[in-house]
Structures are given as C-alpha cells and as structure tokens.
Amino acid sequence: MINENQLSRRQVIGGLGSGLAATVMATPAFADSSGKAPGAVAPTPLVDPTTKYPRPPFNTPMQPWPGLAGKMNPRPDHGESSYKGSGRLQGRKALITGGDSGMGRAAAIAYAREGADVAINYLPAEEPDAKEVIELIRKEGRKAVAIPGDIREEAFCKRLVDEAVKGLGGLDILVSNAARQQTRQSILEVSSEDFDATMKTNIYAPFWIIKAALPHMPPGSVIIGTTSEQAYDPSPNLYDYAQTKAATTNFVKSLAKQLAPKGIRVNGVAPGPIWTPLQPSGGATAEKLKNFGGDTPLGRPGQPVELASIYVQLAASDGSYATGQVYGAAGGGGQP
C-alpha cells in the first residue's frame, strides 16, 4: 500500500517532464538585433547562372596538344577557391585520369575537400597543371599521388592502377575522365594515326584501367565515366571523338548491369561545352573558340567546377541507388 504523502518515481519524472515541456513550449526564441534567431544560418545569396562566369567572345591563345589550363584566358574555375567541402567522402580513395585540368581537376579538388585521398594521372607535358592540383589536395591534409604517363599504352594502364592502390592504400573510386579531342572538318582529314590515338585514349584506356582496378574495388565502390553531349548530338567536325563518347555512354550502362550484383555502381557525366584546355589545344577551331558556349541557352560555356558536385554525388554513398545513369550539364542543351 502506497502512503498518501509519497509519490511514485514514475509520477515524479512524469510531472517533471510535463513541466519542462510546458516551459520549453512557452519560451519564445528571441531574435538578436539583426532580426535573426540564435544559431540561424545566413541564407546563400542567389546567383544568376547566365552571368556567374565569363561569356564570349573570348581571346584565349591556341596551344599545342594537350594544352594547359594555366595558359588559358580567362583561366578555368576548377573550384580552387569556390568549392567548399562537407566531408561526404571521408576516408575514400580515388583515382582520376586526366586529373590535371578540366573536369578531372575539378573532381580531384572536390574529392579532397570532401575527405578523400586522390591519385591523378596526366601526360608528362601537363606537369605544371598537375603540380597545382597535387598541392591543393595536400593542402586539405589528404594523400595526393601523382602518376604521369600515357594511357594509350596497356602496360602503363596496369602500372597506373598498381601505383594508385599502393599510394592510396586501396581504391574505391575510379573516374575515367582523360580524353583526346581534335577537330577535323572532314573524315578525309582524319589520319589512321589520329583515329588510333583517339580510340586508344578514349576507349582502350578505360577498358584496360577498369580491368586492372576491379580486383581492388570492394562492394560500395564506384566507377564514373566522363562522356559528353557529343554521344547523342555529335558535331560534324568531331567524327572520331563523338563516337568514342557514344561508346563511353554505352559502357556505363552495360558495366553497371554487370557489376551491380557485386555492389559496384557505374555512372557517367555528360558535359556540354566546358571551358577546358581540350578546346584551345585542337579540340575546337580558333573561330569556334572565340564564341565557345555562346549558343547555349545560358549563353556561355560551363566551368569545370560546375560539374564537381555531380562527380561527388555519384561517388557518395548516399547516392547508392543510382547506377547505369548519365547526368548531363550542358547549359540548357543536351538530353540525359
């Protein structure tokens, strides 16, 4: 029998809880003198995408293949100052081909700021750009592995993966991004040497690299291919390049089905006209380069950093149901 002057423990706690709840509900959240509630985050200002980055006409100098971002005017924005990370790829290990400039560089910077260790591949002639990327990765306190070499050689592709795995301590993100693009007005101007170089860079190399990488990639890993709007809306002067990008789109969808049971996702990114060294180093004529990207609905070319968040999302574990997909960013054009 319970004494009338005693309260059970449940009654005491229940009463206290009710009282605290009532107090909390009755307490207003006072704003400071600026009108903001304590702890409120300032809203991100809206930015007009049509004027966010430079618009044509451009006066950047033409360069010999493979070109350097450091010699372009204006210089591309890869996210050097603009990309802010939030730890979405903490502890991940990424290998990116063509990581010295363009979308590869943007992905490398973003991955490092999201907490990943990164290995980049590039041609020896691109060393000045690559050094900048390696420094930016290390500035984030992440491992940075530089592996120069020509991916048109099968033996090097195998060594590339081995060195990346050794330098990073594993591999769970592979971005097949490097590509060769040379404009030719007619198929009659495409030599067998030209055609072979484009096929080796854009089709053979991903095949060799993926084959070498797969035994090292555990469930939860991702493969991301950089394809292009050229895959489905080819330009007449990019006969060989355009068909390689159609092949990239196709391997993304085929390999995604093959590797899904193993827990490895495969996706693609399809850029439109993006301001990279690919263009002034033979990917476009001087005439086209002057007004590059001006015919898009946004009226300008895209910057590599504008695709960085796509590469991050496709690599992050919270995008785990996306595989066999191609994500476009083409300034208002494009189909994916």
DSSP symbols for 59-94: -PPP--TT--GGG-SSPP--STTT----STTTT-EE
- What is the distance between the alpha carbons of residues 260 and 3, in angstroms, rounded to a whole number? 67
Helical segments of 119-238, H only: 127-139, 154-168, 192-199, 205-213
In DSSP terms, 274 is beta-bridged to 302
243 is written with which tokens? 């068909």
Between the alpha carbon of residue 227 and those of residues 58, 270, 328, the distances in Å are 25, 5, 9
- What is the distance between the alpha carbons of residues 242 and 70, in angstroms, rounded to a whole number? 26
Catalytic-labelled residue, pool 241, 311, 321, 327: 241
> Could you give phi then psi for residue 99, rounded to 5 degrees?
-85, 5
- Torsion, Cα 257 329 72 111, to 10 degrees, reads -60
Q: DSSP label at 202? A: I
What is the SS3 assignment for 7? coil
Q: Is 217 exposed, middle or buried (0-12, 13-18, 19+ CB in 10 A)?
A: buried
Q: Is 241 annotated in the active site?
A: yes
| Residues annotated as catalytic (active site), given as ranges | 241
